[in-house]
Chains A and B, each alone.
Chain A
Amino acid sequence: MTETNQALIQITDMTKVFYTDEIETHALSGVHLSVNKGEYVAMSGPSGCGKSTLLSIIGLLDTPTAGRYFLNSKPVENLDFAERARIRNQEIGFIFQSFNLIGDLTVYENVELPLTYRQRMPSVEHKKRVMEALERVGMAHRLKHYPSQLSGGQQQRVAVARALAGHPSILLADEPTGNLDSRNGEAVMELLANLHKDGATICMVTHDPRFAKHAQREIHLFDGKVVAEEELKKLLQETSA
């Protein structure tokens, strides 16, 4: 973490509590996190430790229970739905574990989707961006295909292209290789590494330590808190004992 770089994401003392049937689940408790422009951060930790919860708050899909969140130096923890949707659309690119391409839409239409939710963008610009993104992931030859006609690895590459098409400030990926075999997973990881090399900021949740190595920095979560690697090992040993 270099202080000269401006923090793209600045999260302080964030907690997230879920209330279900009078049971409180403290998914996050007092998380501090800052991610700089151009960084590639991997988040790992045991199942249920709050990785997805943190990522969804970063991606403005969810709101924190308490704490502060500055995105591009702007406070975003208390925005309304419409404003958050606008920021998601312009600043954030999502890559999901299960690809989440829309079955009724072609490859081209899927990639174009985030652009269609943007006001006043000429369709020439759409086309340019979509083609750029698809070429970047090597899927420009499958424009007219439907997701069901693609392999898992191809679908995930299209999903990456969709995340890129909006030119977001940050790419968020929640176990992007979870539904892929190792060869296809490797290919997607390589793609992300290349994107990072070209300047993209990436936050990725992963279980797989091999893939975590691709990142510049690895953040460990345990029971809703960010912990150092050594501490994590100690804690894991304690729980298994």
Chain B
Amino acid sequence: MRGVLNSLLQDLHYALRQFRKSHGFTIVAVLTLALGIGANTAIFSVVNGVLLNPLPFPHANRIVSMFEATPDFFKGSISYPNFLDWQRDNRSFEAMAAYRSTDGSITGVAQPENVRAQRVSANFFPILGVNPILGRNFTSEEDRRGAGPTALISEGLWKRKFGSDPNVIGKRLIVAGQARTIIGVIPASFRLHVFNFRTADVYEAVGEETDPAFYLRDSHWNMDAIGLLKPGITLAQACDDMKRVNAGLANAYPSVDGNVKTNIIPLKDNIVGDMRSVLLVLLGAVGFVLLIACVNVANLLLARSTARQREFSIRAALGAGQMRIVRQLLTESVLLSALGGTLGLILAKWGTTAALVAVPETVPRAEEIGIHLSALLFTVFVSVLTGIVFGLLPAIKMSRTDISERLKDGGRAISGSRSSIQSVLVMGEMAMALVLLVGAGLMCRTLVQLWKIDPGFDPHNVSFFEVTPPPSLVNQPPDAILAALRQISATLHSVPGVEALSLHDGAVPMDHDNEKGFLLEGQEPPKQRTEYFPQTVEYTVEPEYLKTMRIPLLRGRFLSDEDNESSARVVVIDASFAQQYFAGQDPIGKRIRIFEFDSDSNQRISVPLVIVGVVGHVNQWGLAEDASRPLQAQMYRPILQRGAVDMKRLARGFNVFVRSKTPLAPEAFFEPIRQKLLASNRDMVVYDNESEEEVVAQSIASQRFSLILLGTFAGLALLLAGIGIYGVLAYLVGQRTRDIGVRMALGAQRLDVLRMVLREGARMTLAGAVIGLAVALALTRLMASMLFGVRPTDPITFATVAALLCAIALFACYIPARRASKVDPMVALRYE
């Protein structure tokens, strides 16, 4: 044991001395490895944080997300009465909790501030295993209709607004004009981000809602749910159980629930979403980068081994066995990659931060990404493995060549076979680089295709922000609310530089959806709800919306100022709506019916709308997704013609779209607007300013993220492969200087020699490219879901990228080739 340790120390000591002796080689090798290992550590830490790590909840693997599936939405929102029945009738869940997001301004404590608020069921936090650091969770009594308003607040809000007051429990907090009793403080460590739920500052009980419309079985108020499966219950069993529960609901409420379906997916899948395939593709890509780095270092070692042949023949002559020599060489290579790994770790730390900053909000669970223990272990493992992978081949090669052969003929016969190994390695790395380039190329074409898509509106110079009116407005009658809205609109119009603007509610292109069921003229509502009402995306706007967004008017007219609360209800539809429901007819003057909640009769009543115009289709679901979404029909209604319930919602908050006359930084444009509004009323909150250009860009953020990373890795691979082929050719030229001199003595022109070396490089490159194309053909299928408007086998991409690789490789070859062509033929005369 001691002997082994001693000889290991000896090996280490010797290896370090070797590095000092040839520091040029050491630096190049360590840098190459650092890039390869660093990229892997970075992506691994992302994959680990997002995909591998369990969610930070005690029963994470039993927690599922639940939705009501509809023909238009796989993850449709749940009606609250249905949710309550699911909760009561199921047999496979320990608990179920609903949630939906709202927001509102906090008034009464310092400056009014708009905060994100989440409405959750009483057992929402218990399911997640989150305990308040102060106070308690909601009781089921507090989660009932008409219960006294309570609130859980975030640790952040507690610090910010209450100075971490330990006696905050029982204090009052006014949220959206509603006084609430604080019952607990949720720790800052709690984080969850899924559709309809974001870590918030205020949590309220979902069941305390007083609006009767919320309790209609056909109301879908953007509510989703989570459930905690009983131990041992599988997802499939839970789905079957919910089918049984829904069959009961269909029986009891055939006109509404005839076709109700529950969609259950693991919470983690809901969080990770599409990112899984992106991350796995990236992990594969960095694997290739590392392999290429390994190949380069292996080639460097092979080249060096020629120089070190003497050393090892002497060692062998002194009686060192083959194993001993292999071990010595492996010690060197593992040490080399350990150095590379250490440097790589730093690169990784820096790279992950940079990547997450470059494309924020793209990667779920980003806050859980970091170089933790598992990433460290991964780096150590990869480093050692890397050292063995790139070190083994040269080590075996070197320990095998027998001494007598080395002494004979200056080692020329050996160098022949060794250089052929190097050529094969170079072909391999060319192939891998090509695969990565194809991936990046496909992503690049995807992005080009996406940018070519017409969003249906002109996002330039358009800003978007949110307004929360003074909390007192909520309790005003509809007339007063309308007057306030008109007042705000007029104030906004008086801001210099404003070209057009529109107050806005409902769906927001590429940001937020809102649907409405409707019936065509003469169409009867289905008796049995085995069919759904036709659905349309609903935008609530002012007449200037069209001008603000520069959406083309195709037929009839857009909404006007005359379409107000006292005139006939009108609607403008989009081209898709017209195409789908009025194909071959003129929709102008036709009627549709929608159903609005009437608080007097406490039920929905039919409201007829006259179609007065047709406008262009707007990209609602994001550049990449819009075309593939089933729901395409869109309609626009005047904000002044909304019903009483909608008026209340508008009083809580709405959006504003503004077009500026000249291009301005969104901030520079927004600030005067905000000041003007605040000057008109101090209790107003104006926030969340975003330019429409950002919104459009954000809709393809995941593709941009993939392109940036794949592009970086492909660039790295290309660089390494270029260095690789350069290194091998430079080595070969160095080895063959004499041969080249002889050829020149025999009459070879400089061009002949240049061509000869280039041909050698081209041979490796082309062979590598052919292999790479074949591998890419097989692998790009895996990224099909990331692509848009381009097939995974797109011939243009394949051809362009192969041409790029060849051009870069030939450029890399040109340097040694030129050197070869400058060889002095006199070397032929010099003796060895």
CB distance from A14 to the nearest CB of B (A): 17
The 5 lowest CB-CB distance pairs between A and B, nearest first, are A89-B747, A148-B413, A100-B742, A117-B747, A114-B746
Question: CA of A102 to CA of B828 in the docked complex: distance in angstroms?
Answer: 11
* Cβ contact of A96, chosen from B416, B749, B828, cutoff 8 A: B828
What are 30 contact pairs spanning A and B, CB under 8 A? A52-B829, A55-B829, A61-B826, A61-B829, A82-B750, A85-B744, A85-B747, A85-B749, A89-B748, A90-B747, A94-B745, A94-B746, A96-B742, A96-B829, A100-B738, A103-B412, A103-B413, A103-B739, A104-B416, A114-B747, A117-B743, A117-B747, A117-B749, A117-B752, A146-B413, A148-B409, A148-B413, A162-B746, A166-B746, A166-B747
CB distance from A109 to the nearest CB of B (A): 12
Measured between beta carbons, the chain B residues less than 8 angstroms from A86 are: 747, 749
Q: Does A220 contact B (CB under 8 A)?
A: no
A 168-183 binary contact with B (CB < 8 Å = 1; else 0): 0000001000100000
Question: CA of A172 to CA of B135 in the docked complex: distance in angstroms?
Answer: 103
Q: Does B832 contact A (CB under 8 A)?
A: yes
Q: From residue 737 to 768 of chain B, which have CB atoms closer than 8 A to chain A?
A: 738-739, 742-750, 752
CB distance from A184 to the nearest CB of B (A): 16
Specify the chain B residue showing the minimal Cβ separation from A59.
B745
* Cβ contact of B416, chosen from A82, A89, A103, A113, cutoff 8 A: A103
Specify the chain B residue showing the minimal Cβ separation from A52.
B829
Q: Does A225 contact B (CB under 8 A)?
A: no
* Cβ contact of B743, chosen from A52, A56, A82, A113, cutoff 8 A: A113
Q: Is the CB of B826 within 8 A of A97?
A: no
Q: Does B825 contact A (CB under 8 A)?
A: yes
Beyond A61-B829, A85-B748, whether A102 also contacts B416 by CB under 8 A is no
Question: CA of A161 to CA of B415 in the docked complex: distance in angstroms?
Answer: 26
Q: Does A98 contact B (CB under 8 A)?
A: yes
Question: CA of A90 to CA of B747 in the docked complex: distance in angstroms?
Answer: 8
Q: Is the CB of A94 within 8 A of B828?
A: yes
Specify the chain A residue showing the minimal Cβ separation from B415.
A103
Binding site for A on B (CB under 8 A): 409, 412-413, 415-416, 738-739, 742-750, 752, 825-826, 828-829, 831-832
Q: From residue 69 to 116 of chain A, which have CB atoms closer than 8 A to chain B?
A: 81-82, 85-86, 88-90, 94, 96-98, 100, 102-104, 113-114
Q: Is the CB of A117 within 8 A of B746?
A: yes
Specify the chain B residue showing the minimal Cβ separation from A94.
B745
Measured between beta carbons, the chain A residues less than 8 angstroms from B831 are: 97-98, 178
Q: Is the CB of A56 within 8 A of B826?
A: yes
Q: Does A118 contact B (CB under 8 A)?
A: yes
A 106-141 binary contact with B (CB < 8 Å = 1; else 0): 000000011001100000000000000000000000
Question: CA of A52 to CA of B739 in the docked complex: distance in angstroms?
Answer: 19
A 37-67 binary contact with B (CB < 8 Å = 1; else 0): 0000000000000001001100101100000
Measured between beta carbons, the chain A residues less than 8 angstroms from B413 are: 103, 146, 148
Question: CA of A85 to CA of B754 in the docked complex: distance in angstroms?
Answer: 14
Binding site for B on A (CB under 8 A): 52, 55-56, 59, 61-62, 81-82, 85-86, 88-90, 94, 96-98, 100, 102-104, 113-114, 117-118, 146, 148, 162, 166, 174, 178
Measured between beta carbons, the chain A residues less than 8 angstroms from B832 are: 98
CB distance from A132 to the nearest CB of B (A): 17
Question: CA of A115 to CA of B742 in the docked complex: distance in angstroms?
Answer: 14
Measured between beta carbons, the chain A residues less than 8 angstroms from B742 are: 96, 100, 102
Question: CA of A55 to CA of B409 in the docked complex: distance in angstroms?
Answer: 26
Measured between beta carbons, the chain B residues less than 8 angstroms from A55 are: 829
Measured between beta carbons, the chain A residues less than 8 angstroms from B826 are: 56, 61-62
Measured between beta carbons, the chain B residues less than 8 angstroms from A148 are: 409, 412-413
CB distance from B417 to the nearest CB of A (A): 11
CB distance from A170 to the nearest CB of B (A): 14
CB distance from B831 to the nearest CB of A (A): 6
Which of A86, A89, A90, A118: most chain B Cβ within 10 A?
A89
* Cβ contact of B746, chosen from A89, A97, A146, A178, cutoff 8 A: A89
Q: Is the CB of B746 within 8 A of A61?
A: no
Measured between beta carbons, the chain B residues less than 8 angstroms from A88 are: 745-747, 825
Which of B743, B746, B829: most chain A Cβ within 10 A?
B746
Which of A55, A56, A146, A178: most chain B Cβ within 10 A?
A56
Question: CA of A146 to CA of B749 in the docked complex: distance in angstroms?
Answer: 25
CB distance from B754 to the nearest CB of A (A): 12
Specify the chain A residue showing the minimal Cβ separation from B413.
A148
Measured between beta carbons, the chain B residues less than 8 angstroms from A82 are: 749-750
Measured between beta carbons, the chain B residues less than 8 angstroms from A114 are: 746-747
Question: CA of A55 to CA of B743 in the docked complex: distance in angstroms?
Answer: 17
Specify the chain A residue showing the minimal Cβ separation from B746.
A114
Question: CA of A174 to CA of B828 in the docked complex: distance in angstroms?
Answer: 11
Question: CA of A178 to CA of B744 in the docked complex: distance in angstroms?
Answer: 22
Measured between beta carbons, the chain B residues less than 8 angstroms from A90 are: 747
Q: Is the CB of B743 within 8 A of A61?
A: no
Q: Is the CB of A174 within 8 A of B829?
A: yes
Which of B412, B743, B745, B749: most chain A Cβ within 10 A?
B745
Measured between beta carbons, the chain B residues less than 8 angstroms from A178 are: 831
Which of B413, B416, B828: most chain A Cβ within 10 A?
B828
Q: Is the CB of A118 within 8 A of B750?
A: no
* Cβ contact of A118, chosen from B409, B415, B747, cutoff 8 A: B747
Measured between beta carbons, the chain A residues less than 8 angstroms from B746 are: 88-89, 94, 113-114, 117, 162, 166
Question: CA of A62 to CA of B831 in the docked complex: distance in angstroms?
Answer: 17
